């Protein structure tokens, strides 16, 4: 069966640095990969979507890449700020639905 894995449960980073989060999938390449932000006790908030035929997508300080050879998506936050501290989820589109990874909890230290 298809699996999606975020291999870091937690990541601490100094304010101003670039945070890089990893998402790996097995077997078939999804047509779309999505990234969400989730704050404690709240629902996930959609951030970015990248298509299979796109290598890179940007939105303000956020950048997502999609490497179908490595079966991997990377999520970057440049010039990180304490307000970026949250859990970030990746999700793959599969069989007409979205399947989520377990998330990486990012802490940006002032």
Partner 1 sequence: DVKVTQSSRYLVKRTGEKVFLECVQDMDHENMFWYRQDPGLGLRLIYFSYDVKMKEKGDIPEGYSVSREKKERFSLILESASTNQTSMYLCASSPTGGGHYGYTFGSGTRLTVV
Cα distances (Å, whole numbers) of residue 73 to 12, 43, 51, 80, 89: 19, 22, 11, 19, 12
Question: Contacts with partner 1 in 24-83 (CB under 8 A)?
Answer: 30-32, 34, 36, 41-47, 49
Binding residues with partner 1: total (CB under 8 A): 26
Q: Are 95 and 38 in contact (CB under 8 A)?
A: no
Asked if residue 96 binds partner 1 (CB under 8 A), the reply is yes
Asked if residue 97 binds partner 1 (CB under 8 A), the reply is yes
What is the SS3 assignment for 59?
strand
Judged by the rule CB under 8 A, the positions of this chain that interact with partner 1 are 30-32, 34, 36, 41-47, 49, 89, 91-94, 96-103
């Amino acid at each position: 069966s298809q699996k999606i894995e975020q291999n870091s449960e937690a990541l601490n980073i100094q304010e101003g640095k670039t945070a890089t989060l990893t998402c790996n999938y097995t077997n078939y390449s999804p047509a779309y990969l999505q990234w969400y932000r989730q704050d404690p006790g709240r629902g996930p908030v959609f951030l970015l979507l990248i298509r299979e035929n796109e290598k890179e997508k940007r939105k303000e300080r956020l950048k997502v890449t999609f490497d179908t050879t490595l079966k991997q998506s990377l999520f970057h936050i440049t010039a990180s700020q304490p307000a970026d501290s949250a859990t970030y989820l990746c999700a793959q589109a599969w069989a007409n639905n979205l399947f989520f990874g377990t998330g990486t909890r990012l802490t940006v230290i002032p």
